[in-house]
Each structure stands twice: as structure tokens, then as C-alpha cells.
A and B are shown apart, each in its own frame.
Chain A
């Protein structure tokens, strides 16, 4: 039984459809990452869930109750904003205590004190509680904002790209700490990000948002290895997935991929039909070497560059098609660029997409 149920949600501004017929079922305690390129409507979606904006149509159900019409203060939802949205005229302590004072007017001061300090210590901002937001560093502001959203143990926490405005060191620290802290509270987390690495590191499931709806909702591993469309495949991965038009022909247990006369033989089974399609293959799934093997194709070396502890090679086929392939650093030492170079695809890692719809054909 899902806890949060988004049913055909739509929102547009004038003629601009931001969210259209979006569906999702989110379980209690799940870390649900909404990932999408900028301008895809992630923040609008979060605002619909929090009640800051009202949906044009569709339903938001929480624990089987329709909450569409409820005001923000009536929903058991809290949110950490991308720009922190701390109250500049209140000290960090009062910022964090705000939800406690709002929801339970008679909470004794020592209980508030206890709860604020507990969450502050958990997030390591216990020493700055007496300071105003303007005196805090960005990392501290961000933790204060997180503390405020967590202090009252809400059923659903919405996090709007909270690591966007902090420096790389804090971002990495928080990426490690955040899941631990959130698991402790057993709340349902909806986390927005533009960074696919962050999405893959944090999410129990990732929902990929573009064209106004979730195009994939799946575990990070599945989305990476089996994207539903070329667009999704392009969003995950750095460098992005190679893709090119090709003609497919199945023959004797092989899939023959014909790219303008160059033929890759992939030893694998597939249910797709013979014909034209787009082939996608990630740079790390292309094997590069100086040795010719049965199914490899000769390529010409263009250039190489290090990226994220791997070496990315740009190579060119005889027909002019350029491909990116990446190897580990050790592997790259074994390759002599002045000799002939060959590539082959790791069979099961190649993807076939429809030419028109860009959907994954498998």
C-alpha cells in the first residue's frame, strides 16, 4: 500500500504545461529522488505537494486522504528550500523551533529545547544555535534549514535540491550523512536534484522527470542499466551515452548492427525486430584495445582526456562516426595510441531505441 499517491497531476501556467498527467506511488519511509534537467518542473511538483501551489487537476493522496485542497499548514509535510528560506530576524534556534511552536502551542520550553538540541547535534550545528542566519556559513544555513524540516518528525519531507548551494566538500559530507539521518526518522523523503550522481547515491528509487511526467521510476541501478528511453539514458552518465542510427539484423544468434557499412556483431538475444533504430552504448561499455579480435572494428585515435579517475578516448570509425569510450587508468596505459586500435561493444550493455519515439525497444 503506497503512502503518497500522485494521480494524474497537472499544472500549467497560462499555456505553459509544466506538469501533465504525472503519476507516482511512493511508499512510507522511502527515499524517493526526483531527477530531471533544469526547467523540467521539479520545483513546481514539490510546490504542489507542499500546498504552496494548487494543482489544476489530478489528486494527491496521503495515507489515503485527498490533500489537494489543504493549505500548507494543514498538511503533515515539511520542506527544505533550495535557497534555505531561513527567517533572517530569528536566531538559528528559533528557526528550528518554529515548527514545534506552531504545531503544539503548549509544548513546554524545556521540551522544545531538548528537541531542537537533539536535531542540531545530529546535524552538527549545536554550536551555532545562538546566531542569526546572516552569521552562518552556507553549509550551516543548509543544515539549519534541514533541521527545521526534520525537528517535528513530519510524515513527508520535501527536499528541494538542498545541496545545490553549498560547496563541494559539504555536499559530499552531506551525501554521506543525509541518508543516515533521514533513516533514523523513518520519514518519507522526496528529494529533488539535477545531479545524476546525487540521485544515484541517495535514492531508493529515482523518478526521472521531463516532458511534464515521470518517464522512469525505478531503482538507480535499473535506470542506469536499462533506461526506458534515450532521453533518460542521456541524462544519466558522464560522459553521456554514445548514440547513433543503425540498421539491426538478427542472424545466427548474433545481432548485426550496421552503421553506414561498419558492422558490429553482438552475440546476444533480443526481441526487437530487424530494421532501423538508434543504438546506445555507454563509453565504459566499449572495450578498446590494440589487439584485433573476432568481433572488433578498427578505429582511429582522435584524442583522450582524464575524467573522474577514468580516461576518456575519442575515437573515429572508418565511416566517420565518432565514439567516446572510457577505460580505467591502468587499462589506458596498456593502449598504445600509435598502433592500430580496435573496439568492440560489451554485448548485453548495448541498448536499442526507437527512431521516432526514442523509447527503449527491449
Chain B
């Protein structure tokens, strides 16, 4: 009997937790298929005729809202910008961070720990603290408003993250496995490429995903250091709010579209995460 009470309580607890986390997302998803009118009703409607007007408007860049002037949005460009910036910064981070993480994990060199910690400390500083000087420098050397500049600045966020996560994974690999591969006759680089990297793959995958999310969600750097030509969705969404109207349906639609890439990526990478867990479960 007591077990039954327990399981009922547990059931409600789960429902509460799921509601808490998923309700806003479900609501946004709903909203993206509603017209502004339906959204703004005092008693929210649960049943409505879904419309794709918001999505079409977002794609075509212009949308007519009843009672207001036609709105022009650059969301498509923002989405492309987000993709370029995120993919770009994760690629650069991987290129620089994975070898660096390996070096920090395997070799003890003078000042190694200090350098690693300095890199980590970049994450302590609030972005606003450095944004003004950065803005001045970048204007001076002509880097203002370029993908390159933003990808560079994003490294402040992504590089330390990847470095410290992947370093731990490299440290967990027995050096003997790498030595064994070299004794087989493979070069140092081959052992790095064929042994160390595949074995640290789950860590690299997890860190890349996190980096991607951080880069995708970044707002402040993109707002200050770039014009609308290169701004990502986070900043682009601001343009929806105008003096004449707040098109909630369009905003909801924008949110859904901008969450999708991260979601798909997470689902895709999950496979590698699980694979990594099962590889590590039993020592090889």
C-alpha cells in the first residue's frame, strides 16, 4: 500500500518537473503557429487553426500584421550568421584546443599550469568588462564588423571550456596505450591521431557541443562588435520589437527556428557520448 502512495507521489513529482522545464518550450512552440490575435486573447486558446504565416514571413523577410504596417526582418541572414559564427568558432577551438589540451595533459613544461589557469580565468571575467576596450581596438585595426573578429573573440569563451574538458579525457588515457602504438612502429603524430583522439572522442564531442551552444547563445559580443550584417539570431531577434508592434507569433517562431540547430546537434552527438561512456566503463 505504502509503495502505491510512493509511486503516485513520484508520478506527480515527475509531472511537476517536466511541466516546469517543458511548458515554456511547448507554449512557445504553440505560439509560433498562432496569429498575434489568438496569442493576445485574454483567455488563452488551446484549440486553434494552426497557421504557417509566421514561418513563411520569417523566411521571406516580410510579414503583414493586422492593423500595422508590414514588418521587414533579416532573420534568414541572422540564422546564416549564427551558423557561420558558431561553426567557425568551434572549428577554430577544435583546431587549437585539442592539441593544446593534449600538451597540457601529457607534458609537464615550465609555466604549463599557469598558462592553463590563465586560459581558464578568461571565463571568470564578465564580457562587459572587456567589451569596451575590445571595441576600441577592433575599430582601430579594422576588425570591427567582421566574422573573423567575432570568431576570434568567441575563443575567449569556447577555448578554455574545451581545453579543460578535453584535457581531463586525455589524462584518463593510459600513456602506455600510446607507447604501445609507437612501439608498433607508428609515429608520434599517428598515435595522437589514431589513438589519443579517438579515445578522447566522447570528451571532444561533449566539449564541442557545449562550445557550440555557448557560441550560438552569445549576445553581448555580437551586439557590440558587429553590425546587423554579421549579427546572429540572438541579436537579430531584437529587431522584432518595434515601436509600432510586438509580433509575438513571429518571435516565437524565431525562437523555435534558432533552438532547432542546437537540439539536432545535441541529439546527433548523444550517440557519441553514450558510446564514450560504454568504452570507458571497462578498462581496456
Contact flags A48-59 to B (C-beta < 8 A → 1, else 0): 001110000000
Contact flags B261-284 to A (C-beta < 8 A → 1, else 0): 000000000000000000101101
B140 within 8 A of A: no
Q: A133-B284, A134-B282, A134-B284 are in contact. Are A85 and B177 (CB under 8 A)?
A: yes
Q: A133-B284, A134-B282 are in contact. Are A85 and B176 (CB under 8 A)?
A: yes
B110–chain A nearest beta-carbon distance, Å: 15
Whole-angstrom CA separation of A247 from B249 in the bound complex: 105
A103 within 8 A of B: yes
Q: Are A72's CB and B176's CB within 8 A?
A: no
- Give chain B residues whose Cβ lies under 8 Å from the Cβ of A62: none
Please name 15 further chain A to chain B contacts, defined as beta carbons within 8 Å, in addition to the given A71-B188, A73-B183, A79-B183, sorted by A numbering: A72-B179, A73-B185, A78-B184, A85-B179, A86-B177, A86-B180, A87-B195, A88-B279, A88-B284, A89-B198, A89-B199, A98-B181, A102-B185, A134-B279, A148-B180
A12 within 8 A of B: no
A83 within 8 A of B: yes
Question: For residues 79 through 123 of chain A, which have their beta carbon under 8 Å from a beta carbon of chain B?
Answer: 79, 81, 83-89, 98-99, 102-103
A-B contacts, 8 listed (Cβ < 8 Å) = A50-B179, A71-B182, A81-B179, A87-B177, A87-B180, A88-B177, A102-B184, A134-B281
Q: Are B177's CB and A99's CB within 8 A?
A: no
A253–chain B nearest beta-carbon distance, Å: 58
Complex: chain A residue closest to B191, CB-CB: A73
B187 within 8 A of A: yes
Complex: chain A residue closest to B176, CB-CB: A85
Judged by DSSP, the binding face of B is helix
- Give chain A residues whose Cβ lies under 8 Å from the Cβ of B181: 87, 98
Question: For residues 24 through 75 of chain B, which have their beta carbon under 8 Å from a beta carbon of chain A?
Answer: none
Complex: chain A residue closest to B186, CB-CB: A102
Whole-angstrom CA separation of A88 from B181 in the bound complex: 12
Q: A86-B284, A88-B284, A133-B284 are in contact. Are A72 and B195 (CB under 8 A)?
A: no
A77 within 8 A of B: yes
Whole-angstrom CA separation of A331 from B18 in the bound complex: 79
- Give chain A residues whose Cβ lies under 8 Å from the Cβ of B282: 134
Pair count A-B, CB < 8 A: 70
Q: A81-B176, A83-B176, A134-B282 are in contact. Are A88 and B182 (CB under 8 A)?
A: no
B229 within 8 A of A: no
Complex: chain B residue closest to A50, CB-CB: B183
- Give chain B residues whose Cβ lies under 8 Å from the Cβ of A148: 180, 184
- Give chain B residues whose Cβ lies under 8 Å from the Cβ of A85: 174, 176-177, 179-180
A14–chain B nearest beta-carbon distance, Å: 12
Contact flags A112-146 to B (C-beta < 8 A → 1, else 0): 00000000000000000000011000000000000
Whole-angstrom CA separation of A83 from B176 in the bound complex: 8
- Give chain B residues whose Cβ lies under 8 Å from the Cβ of A89: 198-199, 279
- Name the 10 nearest CB pairs between A and B, nearest first: A88-B284, A102-B185, A85-B176, A85-B180, A99-B184, A134-B282, A103-B185, A72-B182, A98-B184, A133-B284
A interface bracket (residues with beta carbon within 8 Å of B): 20 to 34
B189–chain A nearest beta-carbon distance, Å: 11
- Give chain A residues whose Cβ lies under 8 Å from the Cβ of B198: 89
A161–chain B nearest beta-carbon distance, Å: 13
B278–chain A nearest beta-carbon distance, Å: 8
Q: Are A88's CB and B199's CB within 8 A?
A: yes
A131–chain B nearest beta-carbon distance, Å: 12
In the complex, which of the residues B180, B190, B279 has the most CB atoms of chain A within 10 Å of its own CB atom? B180
Complex: chain A residue closest to B194, CB-CB: A87
B202–chain A nearest beta-carbon distance, Å: 11
Question: For residues 69 through 117 of chain B, which have their beta carbon under 8 Å from a beta carbon of chain A?
Answer: none
Whole-angstrom CA separation of A357 from B199 in the bound complex: 51
Question: For residues 176 through 218 of chain A, which have their beta carbon under 8 Å from a beta carbon of chain B?
Answer: none
In the complex, which of the residues A72, A77, A86, A148 has the most CB atoms of chain B within 10 Å of its own CB atom? A72
- Give chain A residues whose Cβ lies under 8 Å from the Cβ of B199: 88-89
- Give chain B residues whose Cβ lies under 8 Å from the Cβ of A102: 184-186, 190
Q: Which residue of B183, B185, B188, B284 is within 8 Å of A87 (Cβ)?
A: B284
Whole-angstrom CA separation of A86 from B282 in the bound complex: 12
Whole-angstrom CA separation of A99 from B279 in the bound complex: 23
Q: Are B187's CB and A73's CB within 8 A?
A: yes
- Give chain A residues whose Cβ lies under 8 Å from the Cβ of B179: 50, 52, 72, 79, 81, 85
Complex: chain A residue closest to B198, CB-CB: A89
Whole-angstrom CA separation of A349 from B199 in the bound complex: 56
- Give chain B residues whose Cβ lies under 8 Å from the Cβ of A77: 183
Q: Are B176's CB and A73's CB within 8 A?
A: no
Contact flags A320-334 to B (C-beta < 8 A → 1, else 0): 000000000000000
- Give chain B residues whose Cβ lies under 8 Å from the Cβ of A52: 179, 183
- Give chain A residues whose Cβ lies under 8 Å from the Cβ of B279: 88-89, 134
Whole-angstrom CA separation of A203 from B190 in the bound complex: 35
A234–chain B nearest beta-carbon distance, Å: 31
Whole-angstrom CA separation of A99 from B190 in the bound complex: 13
Whole-angstrom CA separation of A85 from B176 in the bound complex: 6
- Give chain B residues whose Cβ lies under 8 Å from the Cβ of A71: 182, 188
B252–chain A nearest beta-carbon distance, Å: 44
Whole-angstrom CA separation of A88 from B199 in the bound complex: 8
